C-alpha cells in the first residue's frame, strides 16, 4: 500500500495516520524523495483502504500487491522522465542513445569519442573509470583522475557522462563529475550501494544482475527509490544461460515486461547482451523495436586495441550506421 | 569437408575418390538429397584439399570445421529458399507469416481461422493434430481425421499447412495433407524422427529444444539434410532459463547467429518465446527486426476458450494488428 | 483422483462408477497395468470422495493433487520393487549397481566387462547398441546384432542387461534380449516412445531430460504407468546449467525429492552427472548417501580407447574401488 | 607465474628480479600476505622459468595457467588450515560443523542456540546481524549491537562466530566480535569488499554467487589472497537453475572440483543449497560424503517463528540427529 502525502501535511495529521495504519497491523516505511513524501505500508490483512485514504494529509492511496511498490506502474501510471539538463531528456517515445568505450583510457581517446558522438548527434557518453574485473591482476581503470579529465572534455562539448560506481565510498568524489551513476551487474544486489545511491539527487541506472530476475531488478530499484531517489533507469544487459554461442542471452522479453510492470525508463545494452561485435546491431535494433527507451553501446576507434575487452565493441563506422538505423526503427515504432 | 559430386560422376571415379579420401584417414558419409550428391568427410588431419578437389567427378570442395557440415554457410553461401508451391515461398528478404491455433478443434474453427488468414493476406496456417502434452491425461489432438478435414478446407482456400509430427509412424499417413512437417521442441533430438524426415521430400521446420544449444539445432538440421532432405527451416521458440516472469526466454541472439552460421531460413515463434499473450507483439516485432525470415503465431477466435492452453494466443484483432506492424518492420529492414 | 478397482468388478458396477464420476464433471482415464486396474479422474471440483469410494467394485480411492497421479507417493505409500528374476531385485534399502561401457564394441569387450562385473559381485550390465549422437556422422552403435551377441554372453554368465531404446520400432526386436529398457535424456519427452513402453512388461528406466524438471520426469513416468507398465525406474543424470567446469550439474537435490514424491526407485548416473572421470567417485558416493536406490556407472577396460566418448569412463580398477566404497556407504545409510 | 620470495630478500635483489620479469613482457603484482611475500606475474610468453627461479631472493617459482593463481593447488599442494584459536581448527580430514539461525534475534535465542551447540559438541555459530534482503521493507538484522551481545555470550561459552559482512564500512566495527567474516552470494563479485577483506587478518568465507561459476569463486578468493589474507574458506550454497522443485540446485560437483583445483577448505551450505527443511539432511550428508571440509546449517528452536525465513531451518532435534549422522559419514570417509 502506497500513501502519497500532501506536501504540507501537519505533524499531527501524520501521527494520526501512522496510528491508524498501525491498527491494521501493517508496518510502515516513510519515504521522502526529491519530489514527494510517501508512506509505504506492508502487511497482509484485507481492509477498505478508503478508511485511510480519507484521512487529512493523504493526497492519494493505492494498493500494490507486487513485492516492489514505488517503482510499480500499478501505483504510478505515467512514465518517469529523466532530465539530465541542457535539453538532454530520457523519456518514453524518444530513444536515448549512449555510447562510448568500455574503459576510459586517455585524453585522446575521450576526445575522439566525443567527436564521434557529436558527429552523430548523441549527447550521452559511457565509459568506465572503475572497472569490476574478475581477476585482481587486470587493469581496473583510471579512477577519479580519469573521470575528472573526461568530465572537463565532456562539459566543454556539451556531453553528459554515465559511468559505473562500484562502492559507496566513491559516490562523493564522483558526484561532481557524473550525470548518471551506473550500477553494474555484479553489484545488482549490493544493497548498501543501492541505499547510498538513493540518497543522491542524480539519476541511477541499474543493470540487471548476471542471473537476476526481473523482479529482483525492480526490487533493487525499490531500494534506490525508497531511500529518496526517484530518478532511476533500468537496464537489460543479458542473462547467464547454458548457451555458449553468445556471451550472454539478451532477454528481449524483459523489455516489454519491465515497461509494463514499472513506470521507469528501460535501457538496452546489446553489447553485453550478446557479447559479439558482429551481432550487436541486430540485437540493438530488436531491443528498440521491442520498446526500449534507450540503448547503451560500446564503441571504440580501434576495438582491437581497446584497454579492456573489445570483443563486443563497435568501431566508429559501425556505430554510426547503427545510430541511423535505430532512428529509422523509432520512426515506425512511433507511427 | 564437403565434396559436392558432379551429377554424372562415374562409379569408377567415385570409387577412386573414396579410395583417395580413405588414404587421408577421413571417414566418409555419402549424402544424396533431392537436388545433389555429396560426400561428407570427417577427420582431423590437415592436408591440401585440392588434391581431392582436382579429381574427376568433383564439382566443388569445401573445408567446414563446424560440427555441422551441409547446413553450414561456410560451405553454401546463398540462402536456402523453401518453395511451397502456388507462389508461397519462404526466403530471406520476405517475411513468411504463419498463424493458427494451438490445436485443430473443429471444422468451424478451421474455417474461421482460414478466413482470418485470407483477410490478412496470409497463406500458411499452423495447428496441431498430434499434441505433445506433459500429462497423459490431457487432450492429445484430433489426429489424422482432424488433419484430413483441415486439409480439405485449406486446399479449397489456397492455404498451406504446417503441423507437428511426433513419430516416424505418423509421417506416411500425414504426408499427403501436410506442406511443412514441424518437429517440436521435445523431439529436437529424436534422431530417428530426424532421420525419417530426411527421407521425405517436403519441408521440415525444426524447433530448437527446450534447452537446446544453437549448435544442437544445426546438428539436428544436419541429420535431416544428410538423410536427403535439403528443405529445412530452423525455429527459435524460446529457451528454458531461471526467469519465471515469462514462460520461456526468447533468445533474440539466436536469430542473427543462426542467419550467420547457416544458409537455412530462420523462423521466430514469439508465442512460445514469451508465453504471455499481451507481450507477444513486441517480441514478434523484435524478432523480425533482428532478421527472422518468418514468424509463427498462435491465434484463435476466442483464446479463452481454446482447447489447448490459450495463454499465449492472440485473438483475430490482435493478430491482424500484428501482421500489419510486421509488414511495417519489413519495410525499414529492407530499406 | 485415483480409484483402484477390485479385480472382479462387474461391468455393471464399472458403468455405474463411470456414470457417477461423470456427474462430478471429472474426466476419467481407464488404466490397466500388469498388476491392477485403475480409474484416474482429473478435474477441479471439490467433493466428498467417499461418495465414490463407497460404490461397489472400488478397492481404494485417493485424492492426488499432483499433476502426476499413479507414480505419486500420495497414493501408493510402499516403495515399488523391480524384480529382474534370478534373485536380481532393485529395491529401497539395497543398492543396485549397474556398470558397463558407453557402447558395446565387441565380444571381447563384453566378456572382459562381464568378468569385471562378476569379480565385483555385480549382476546388471549397461551398454549402448543404439547410440543417440548429436552428429549424424558419428558411430551409432552395433544395433540389434550387437545386442544379441551381448545377450548370449550375458545370459551364460547370469548378467542382466540394461540398454537404451531410441524408437518404438526397436522395442519388439529388442524385447527378448533386454532386462531393462532405458529411455535416454534426449527422449525424455518422446511421448510416443513412453506410450509404447507402457505396453511392455519389462522394466523401463527413464532418464531425466537434459533440462527436464523433476515434475516432467514424474509425468514421463505417468505416461508409462498409465499405459500399463508399473515397472519404472527414475534416473537422475545431471542437468544443463551455465556452469562449464563440469559437463552437467548433477542435481543431488533430485534424489531426496524424487524419493519423497514417488514410490518408484531412483537411480543415480554420476558418470554423466559430472562427466569427468576423476570426479565420478565422489559424486557416486554422494548420490548413494543422499538415498539413491541404485547407481549406473560407465566402465571400460581402457577408457582412452573406448569407441564412444570415454572422458567420464572409469577403468576396471577405479570402478572396483568405487563399488567397495559404495557398499561401505550403504552400511552407514542402513545403520 | 608465482614467485615466492625469501623473507629476507634484499631490495636490490627484488629490483633485479622485477627487472628480469619485465624483460619477459610479464606484468607483476606484488603480494604480501600475513605469512609470506610473492610476486604474481601474468603474461603469455613461454620461457624457461628457471632463468628467474635461480635469481637470489627467490624461494620458489611455479607456472600456474589458471586465471586464479595463489589459490590454485597447482602452486600450493598442501591444504590450507584455518586456525580459529582455542583448538578450533578447520582442516581437511576433519568436519567443521557450523550452525545457527538465519538472523540473530535476541539474547534468549542466542543462549538457546549456544546451549544446543554445546550439547552437540559444536564450536562455531552462524547467524546474521546484517541481512541482505531483496525488499527494502524487510527486517535487515540487529546490526552491530546484536553482534556485540552475541559476542559476549559466545565468548563466555567458548563459541566462535561466523557472520556476514555486507559492506567495507562494517569491517572495522565488526572486527573485534567476529571469528570468520562471511561474504554472501549477492556480494560474491563485490570486488571492493573482497579487496578490503584481503587486508584483514581474520578468516573469510566466500559464498559462491547465485549463478557464479566455480572459476569466479576461485577468482574472488584470489582477490582476498592477493590483498594479503591467506585465510579463506570457499562455500558451495546452491546455484540458480530452471528447476523450481527446490529453491536452489546444490552443486555437488563443485565439492570435488574445488577440492581438486584449490588448496582452500570447502564448506557446504545444504540449507540454502536445497532450501527445503525436510531435505536438508540428505544433501548435507551427500556433501560430506563428497569431500566437504565443513558444513554450515541453519537451526532455530522454533523454525516456524524465526524472524527471517525459516523454510530451510532445522529445529534442534533434527539438527542434533544430523550432526550425529555427519560424524558417522566422516568415519567411513576417513577409513
The tens digit of pLDDT for each residue in A8-35 reads 999 999 999 999 998 888 888 899 998 8
* Cα A75 to Cα A3, A60, A263, D253, D259, distances in angstroms: 10, 10, 9, 45, 50
C-alpha cell at C331: 552400511
Predicted confidence at residue A65, as pLDDT, reads 85
Predicted confidence at residue D51, as pLDDT, reads 87
Using a CB–CB cutoff of 8 Å, tell me whether B328 touches chain A: yes
Are C239 and C211 in contact, with CB atoms under 8 Å apart?
A: yes
Does the distance separating the beta carbons of C240 and A240 come in below 8 Å? no
pLDDT tens digits, one per residue of B271-288: 999 999 999 999 999 999
Average pLDDT of the residues in C85-105: 95
User: pLDDT means per 10 residues in chain B (335 residues)?
Assistant: 92 92 88 91 84 91 90 92 96 95 97 98 97 88 97 98 97 98 97 96 97 97 95 98 96 98 98 97 98 98 85 97 97 89
Q: Which of A243, A244, A287 sits opposite B251 (nearest CB)?
A: A243
Does the distance separating the beta carbons of A286 and B243 come in below 8 Å? no
Does the distance separating the beta carbons of A166 and D168 come in below 8 Å? no
pLDDT tens digits, one per residue of B154-197: 999 999 999 999 999 999 999 999 999 999 999 999 999 999 99
What mean pLDDT, rounded, does chain A reach? 95
Predicted confidence at residue D50, as pLDDT, reads 87
Does the distance separating the beta carbons of B166 and C168 come in below 8 Å? no
Q: Which CATH number fits domain D82-334: 3.40.50.620, 3.30.465.10, 3.20.20.70, 3.40.50.2300?
A: 3.20.20.70
Using a CB–CB cutoff of 8 Å, tell me whether D245 touches chain B: no
Confidence of residue A42 (pLDDT cuts 50, 70, 90): confident
CA of A202, closest CA in chain D: separation in Å? 20
Average pLDDT of the residues in C304-333: 93
Residue C65 has pLDDT above 80, yes or no: yes
Does the distance separating the beta carbons of C136 and B219 come in below 8 Å? yes
pLDDT tens digits, one per residue of A247-272: 999 999 999 999 999 999 999 999 99
Residues of C in contact with D266 (CB under 8 A): none
Within chain B, where are the H helices?
11-23, 50-53, 107-119, 143-156, 168-174, 191-197, 214-226, 254-261, 270-274, 280-289, 316-334
CA of D190, closest CA in chain B: separation in Å? 22
Predicted confidence at residue A13, as pLDDT, reads 93
pLDDT tens digits, one per residue of B82-94: 999 999 999 988 9
pLDDT tens digits, one per residue of A103-138: 999 999 999 999 999 999 999 999 999 999 888 988
CA of B246, closest CA in chain D: separation in Å? 12
Within chain A, where are the H helices?
11-23, 50-53, 107-119, 143-156, 168-174, 191-197, 214-226, 254-261, 270-274, 280-289, 316-334
Using a CB–CB cutoff of 8 Å, tell me whether C285 touches chain D: yes
**ipTM, 2 dp:** 0.94
Residue A308 has pLDDT above 90, yes or no: no
pLDDT tens digits, one per residue of D190-236: 999 999 999 999 999 999 999 999 999 999 999 999 999 999 999 99
Predicted confidence at residue A43, as pLDDT, reads 83
Stretches in chain D below the pLDDT threshold 70:
none
Confidence of residue C217 (pLDDT cuts 50, 70, 90): very high
Residues of A in contact with B246 (CB under 8 A): 253, 257
Predicted confidence at residue A47, as pLDDT, reads 81
Predicted confidence at residue B43, as pLDDT, reads 83
Q: What percent of chain C shows pLDDT beyond 70?
A: 100
Q: Is the pTM of this model over 0.90?
A: yes
Predicted confidence at residue B115, as pLDDT, reads 98
Does the distance separating the beta carbons of C242 and A240 come in below 8 Å? yes
Nearest CA in chain A to C248: A242
Using a CB–CB cutoff of 8 Å, tell me whether C245 touches chain A: no
What does the DSSP assignment read for B126-150? E-BSS---SSTTS----HHHHHHHH
Which CATH code is given to the segment(s) D2-62?
Answer: 3.30.70.1140
Nearest Cα neighbor of B154 from B178, B175, B131 is: B178
CA of B87, closest CA in chain D: separation in Å? 43
Predicted confidence at residue B310, as pLDDT, reads 77
Residue-range domain boundaries for chain C? 2-62, 82-334
Burial letters D140-152, b for 16+ CB under 10 A, else e? bbbeeebbbbbbe
Are C170 and C129 in contact, with CB atoms under 8 Å apart?
A: no
Backbone angles phi, psi at A160, to 5 degrees: -90, 155
Rounded CA separation D138/D308 (Å): 9
Q: How many CB pairs under 8 A join A and D?
A: 84
Residue C195 has pLDDT above 80, yes or no: yes
* Cα A128 to Cα A139, A154, A201, distances in angstroms: 11, 14, 21
Residue C259 has pLDDT above 80, yes or no: yes
Residues of A in contact with B291 (CB under 8 A): 282
Residues of B in contact with D210 (CB under 8 A): none
Nearest CA in chain A to B273: A253
Predicted confidence at residue B300, as pLDDT, reads 97
Q: What percent of chain C shows pLDDT beyond 90?
A: 82
Q: Which of A54-63, C277-286, D167-176 has the lowest mean pLDDT?
A: A54-63
Nearest Cα neighbor of A272 from A262, A263, A261, A283 is: A283
Amino acid at each position: 500500500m502506497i500513501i502519497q502525502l500532501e506536501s504540507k501535511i501537519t505533524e499531527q495529521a501524520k501521527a494520526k495516520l501512522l496510528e491508524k495504519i498501525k491498527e491494521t497491523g501493517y508496518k510502515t516505511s516513510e519515504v521522502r524523495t526529491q519530489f514527494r513524501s510517501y508512506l509505504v505500508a506492508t502487511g497482509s490483512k484485507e481492509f477498505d483502504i478508503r478508511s485511510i485514504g480519507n484521512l487529512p494529509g493523504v493526497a492519494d492511496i493505492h494498493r500494490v500487491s507486487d513485492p516492489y511498490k514505488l517503482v510499480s506502474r500499478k501505483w504510478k501510471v505515467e512514465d518517469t522522465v529523466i532530465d539530465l539538463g541542457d535539453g538532454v531528456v530520457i523519456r518514453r517515445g524518444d530513444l536515448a542513445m549512449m555510447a562510448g568505450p568500455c574503459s576510459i583510457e586517455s585524453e585522446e581517446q575521450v576526445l575522439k569519442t566525443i567527436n564521434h558522438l557529436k558527429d552523430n548527434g548523441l549527447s550521452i557518453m559511457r565509459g568506465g573509470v572503475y572497472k569490476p574485473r574478475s581477476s585482481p591482476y587486470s587493469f581496473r581503470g583510471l579512477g577519479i583522475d580519469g573521470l575528472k579529465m573526461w568530465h572537463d572534455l565532456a562539459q566543454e562539448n556539451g556531453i553528459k557522462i554515465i559511468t559505473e560506481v562500484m562502492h559507496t565510498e566513491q559516490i562523493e568524489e564522483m558526484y561532481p563529475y557524473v550525470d548518471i551513476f551506473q550500477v553494474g551487474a555484479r553489484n545488482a544486489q549490493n544493497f548498501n550501494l543501492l541505499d547510498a545511491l538513493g540518497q543522491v539527487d542524480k539519476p541511477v541506472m541499474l543493470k540487471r544482475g548476471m542471473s537476476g530476475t526481473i523482479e529482483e531488478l525492480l526490487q533493487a530499484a525499490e531500494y534506490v527509490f525508497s531511500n529518496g531517489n526517484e530518478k532511476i533507469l533500468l537496464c537489460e544487459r543479458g542473462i547467464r544461460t547454458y548457451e555458449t554461442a553468445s556471451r550472454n542471452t539478451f532477454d528481449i522479453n524483459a523489455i516489454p515486461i519491465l515497461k509494463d510492470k514499472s513506470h521507469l525508463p528501460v535501457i538496452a545494452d546489446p553489447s553485453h547482451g550478446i557479447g559479439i561485435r558482429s551481432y550487436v546491431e541486430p540485437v540493438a535494433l530488436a531491443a528498440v523495436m521491442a520498446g526500449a527507451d534507450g540503448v547503451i553501446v560500446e564503441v571504440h576507434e580501434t576495438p582491437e586495441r581497446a584497454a579492456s575487452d573489445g570483443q563486443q565493441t563497435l568501431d566508429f563506422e559501425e556505430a554510426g550506421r547503427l545510430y541511423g538505423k535505430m532512428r529509422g526503427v523509432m520512426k515506425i515504432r512511433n507511427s
